[in-house]
Structure 1
Amino acid sequence: MPETVELWVRRYVEFFTRLQEPDLERLDTLFTPDARFKDPFNDVMGVEQIAAVFHHMFQQCPAPRFHVHGWAIQGNTVFLHWRFLDREDDAAGRWRLDVDGVSRVLFNEEGKVFSHIDYWDPAEHLYEQLPLVGSLLRFIRRRIAI
C-alpha cells in the first residue's frame, strides 16, 4: 500500500509544482467531489470551491510557484513541506511573497484527495507587510522575544 500512496503523492506534488491557471480544470482528477480544502483564509468543500480559491490566488499573485521540499507518509495521510513564492519584486531578487508551510493531505482508497489542510503563519508572511498592522506585529514580536 505505501508504494501506491507514494505514486499518488508524486502525482499530486507534480500537479502543484507545475500549476498554471488552466490546470484548475483538472482538479476533479485529484480531488473527490466533496473534498475539503483549508488554509488560514479559506475553508471550502467541493472541487468548484477549491478551484475558486486557486483562481483567486492567480488573480492576486501574478507568478505563483510551489516548491515541495519533501513529504512524510503514514497510511493514507501525507505531510508535505512546501514553499510558496510569488514573483521577484526588485533587482535584488527578493520575492513579493515567500511562504513556508506544511500541508496535511488525506487520500481515499482510489488515490483522490478528500482533505487538504495547509498550516502556515499568515502574520509572518502577510500581515507584517501591511503598514500599520505590520509595525504593531513586529513591535509585539520584539517585546515577547527572549
Structure 2
Amino acid sequence: MSRQALIQQVQEYYTDFLVRDPADLAGIYSKEVVFCDPLRRIEGLPALQAHFAHMSRGLTQCRFQFEKASIDHDSACLPWHMHYAHQSLRGGRPLRLRGCSLLRCSDKVFYHEDFFDLGAMVYEQVPLLGTLVRFFKARMERS
C-alpha cells in the first residue's frame, strides 16, 4: 500500500471515531505500534485496541476534520480539528480541539504521536477549574 493510501485510510478511520471498530486498527497499525499523546504512551496493537474501546465510553461525539497532510517518505504530519462531546465535560455540549498527529510508517503505522493542548481539551471544560485555567491563560497573554 502506498504512503498516500495508508494516510487516507488513517484519516477515514478517525473521520467518525465512534462508529469504527477497534478491530479495524489491525489494517492500519503494526503489531508493535507505539501510540503517544499528552496523557499516555501505549505499546502494541492489542493495548491500542483496548484503549480505543475504553476511550469511546462517555463520548457522545468524536470526529476529526483533517487539514492537508504533509507526507514524507516514512512519516506524515496530519493537522486536525477534533469535534467531540463527553458527558462529563461542559454538560455534554459539543467541543472542538485543534491538534496534529505525527505518524511514522513502513507498510503500516508503527508510531503515532498526537500533539494537542490538554488544558483546552479537559481542564478548561471542568466548571471551577476551567474558570481558573482560562483566567490564568488570559493573564499570561496580557503580560
Same fold (TM over 0.5): yes
**Shift in Å at residue 120 of structure 1?**
0.3
Q: CA RMSD in A?
A: 2.3
Q: Which residue of 2 aligns with 1:85?
A: 83
Match among 96, 99, 107 for residue 98 of structure 1: 96
Unaligned runs of 5+ in 2: none
What SS is found at the alignment partner of 1:145? helix
Q: Which residue of 1 aligns with 2:133?
A: 137
Q: Match of 1:118, as an amino acid?
A: D
TM-score by structure 2 length?
0.85
What SS is found at the alignment partner of 2:94? strand
- The answer as to whether partners of 2:13 and 2:20 remain within 8 angstroms in 1 is no
Name the % identity: 26
Whole-Å Cα distance in 1 between the matches of residues 17 and 128 of structure 2? 33
What SS is found at the alignment partner of 2:67? strand
Q: Which residue of 2 aligns with 1:49?
A: 47
Quick one: structure 1 residues 87 and 131, their matched pair in 2 at CA, closer, same or farther if it must change by over 3 Å? closer
Whole-Å Cα distance in 2 between the matches of residues 40 and 7 of structure 1? 27
Question: Which runs of structure 2 are paired with 1:106-125 in the superposition (5 Å)?
Answer: 106-108=104-106, 110=107, 112-125=108-121
1:39-80 per-residue CA deviation (whole Å, 9 max, x = no partner) reads 111210011111122112210212211221220012211000
- The answer as to whether partners of 1:85 and 1:95 remain within 8 angstroms in 2 is no
TM-score by structure 1 length?
0.83
What SS is found at the alignment partner of 1:70? coil
Q: Which residue of 1 aligns with 2:24?
A: 26
Q: Which residue of 2 aligns with 1:39?
A: 37
